[in-house]
Amino acid sequence: GRDPHRILEIDKNASVEEIKHAYRELASKYHPDKLEHLGEDFKALAEIRFKEIQQAYQELTGKGS
């Protein structure tokens, strides 16, 4: 299935610090506000990716549901 580590592009035994760092990097990269200029299709994809990244982060850190 979906591997949160793969989504965040980190090692299986990454530390919480590494997880947070990867999350921040990716979240800022795919943030919808950053992608205004790239057109609707790309924005839609980025939004899905952004949600995946958030979910993966929550899974790995035990935050959220």
Q: What is the pLDDT of residues 8-44, one digit of tens each?
A: 999 999 999 999 999 999 999 888 777 788 888 888 8
Residue 51 burial (CB count, 10 A)? 11
Task: Name the CA radius of gyration of the chain, rounded.
Answer: 12
Q: Taking the model in full, what pTM does it have?
A: 0.80
Q: Kindly tell me if the per-residue pLDDT of 65 is higher than 50.
A: no
pLDDT at 64: 56
